[in-house]
Chains A and B, each alone.
Chain A
């Protein structure tokens, strides 16, 4: 081996060890702050909380809010275990939006989108994202942003036009409009890992979240994740982030992923969220996501059905073959969604294989007799003859 390679390898090892040991040291040094007290309304922080309170009231009433008590309590419990002493101040809201995102406001309001829950493989991966958001909360990063903006004189002069109350409101709006700095993101990552470990989660799962999301977003035709996903707008480059998280986690391994518990709690919602993902119409991203999900859990028929639906609706070249193969795979696993047969029937129908189309449509109606499109399916069956 040449000397330069040995030297480079040695440097890398040293850097890795230094990084890991530094993290271990920082973990010992870091302590969560005491619970926050509601700030005075006349202060900048009070204005920020007040604005977020209004947003939370709106969110509680929103039809996009998921009101399933069991799911809510499950995710709230994960957030609580991470938040420790701050548990009583963290209020989780599950939001029906098929994109990867979670956020936490200074007043303790945490939003978790369904697109995030679809994309994580286990409880530890969700804990990684929630721990990161709690990291922002504990470090009061939003307030830092607000004050950073406030300190800029040009903004100050502009905001003076609105008077004190108006200025606070405008600052709050601006603060929410500006993303966290990359240093803040790195700090939140580090705290998130500490919280994960303290709550008994395997910190190695954190780096997998970003690796998985990066794979999916790279599949997009425009290929720039930062333009298409709210979580990427300010975050450090995912390769760097993934590697850093992995290195930090490897320095102090342990904990569990809690995969079975995650699967048990989430299975009742998966089919609906998979359908939402297909309907986004971002076929390349969705196919990459479903391919990864199939590789991770190859006995879940709903994953094959979802990928088949994406291929079929994209309809490029020989996509129908890939779709048919996935529908067949879902059926051979068993317990497939009724829509598997409808999709398969549509392919047969377009390929003029009418007896097969008829049989598949009939199977769909057997499994979903009250489907909203039952009348249309019956007409297809009649058209395809006996």
Chain B
């Protein structure tokens, strides 16, 4: 999480970050997934952010909607850092069980030392495919803010499709969670 913020801040200073509007209606994400929005979102565009699309309602430090579409076997699910002393990279493997997928995202979200607690993990249908839904709390290392998060994921033809949303427990998560749940319900994965 901190790395992501750092990349955005550095890119912003370098003039490489841009924000674009995501309009209401159907939106195609990658080659095989689509979602339907009942209101606009902001998409963050910057180099080196990793394989997920990043959307936000309030701005990057506040809330983030990560959308993964067609993540391949062994593909890293975050902006990777390499070299001595770099934190561990977390990659998707197509033979992962649902709780392995939740654990992979836990690893990704705690690379900066943030504290994660799984609150619930259950089977659901996501994008028309059998998948998982998990809820978590995350105490962010950088500022000790308590976030609440929800994640949906499914594996289709060996590829990962997922939507994760996290925002501060106070005010912001309750403000936007209904819209996020609407997006996850609208998700369709092309078989």
Contact = CB atoms under 8 A, between A and B. Distances in A.
Interface of A: 61-64, 96-97, 222, 224, 227-228, 279-282, 313, 315, 342, 346, 349-350, 372-373, 375-376, 379-380
A64 B139 contact: yes
Given A224-B84, A281-B88, A375 B121 contact: yes
A362 B95 CA distance: 22
B119 A372 contact: yes
A279 B88 CA distance: 10
Contacts of A350: 95, 97
A226 to B, nearest CB: 9
B120 A279 contact: no
B118 interface: yes
Contact of B107 (A64, A228, A281, A379): A281
* B interface SS class: mixed
8 cross-chain pairs, A with B, having the tightest CB-CB distances, nearest first: A281-B88, A375-B122, A373-B121, A227-B85, A379-B123, A227-B84, A376-B121, A222-B84
Contacts of A379: 122-123
A313 B103 contact: yes
Nearest to A379: B123
A279 B97 contact: no
Interface string B92-112: 010101111011001100100
Contacts of B87: 281
Interface centre among A97, A281, A342, by most chain B C-beta atoms within 10 angstroms, is A281
B113 interface: yes
B132 interface: yes
B55 interface: no
Nearest to A349: B97
A376 B123 contact: yes
Contacts of B121: 372-373, 375-376
Nearest to A229: B85
A315 B144 contact: no
User: In which size bucket is the chain B interface?
Assistant: 20 to 34
18 contacts: A62-B144, A63-B139, A64-B115, A96-B115, A97-B113, A228-B85, A279-B107, A281-B88, A281-B90, A313-B100, A313-B103, A346-B100, A373-B118, A373-B121, A375-B120, A375-B122, A376-B98, A376-B122
Nearest to B106: A279
A347 to B, nearest CB: 10
Interface of B: 84-85, 87-88, 90, 93, 95, 97-100, 102-103, 106-107, 110, 113, 115-116, 118-123, 132, 139, 141, 144, 146
Contacts of B95: 350
B112 to A, nearest CB: 11
Contact of B115 (A63, A349, A372, A380): A63
B175 to A, nearest CB: 22
A185 to B, nearest CB: 20
B139 A372 contact: no
B122 A222 contact: no
A315 B116 CA distance: 23
B110 A279 contact: yes
A63 B144 contact: yes
Contacts of B122: 375-376, 379
Contacts of A97: 113
Given A63-B115, A224-B85, A373-B118, 13 more contacts: A63-B139, A63-B144, A227-B84, A279-B106, A279-B116, A346-B99, A346-B100, A350-B97, A373-B120, A373-B121, A375-B123, A376-B98, A380-B97
Contacts of A279: 103, 106-107, 110, 116
A377 to B, nearest CB: 8
A61 B144 CA distance: 9
Nearest to A63: B139
A376 B139 contact: no
Nearest to A375: B122
B152 to A, nearest CB: 13
Given A97-B113, A350-B97, A372 B84 contact: no
A376 B118 contact: no
A259 to B, nearest CB: 30
Nearest to B102: A373
Given A62-B144, A349-B97, A282 B85 contact: no
Contact of A373 (B93, B99, B113): B99
A350 B95 CA distance: 8
B160 to A, nearest CB: 16
Contacts of A342: 99
B176 to A, nearest CB: 23
Contacts of A62: 144
Contact of A372 (B97, B98, B118, B146): B118
Contact of A63 (B107, B120, B146): B146
A373 B144 CA distance: 26
Contacts of A375: 120-123
Contacts of B97: 346, 349-350, 380
Contacts of B85: 222, 224, 227-228
B106 A372 contact: no
A61 B89 CA distance: 31
Contact of A376 (B99, B110, B113, B146): B99
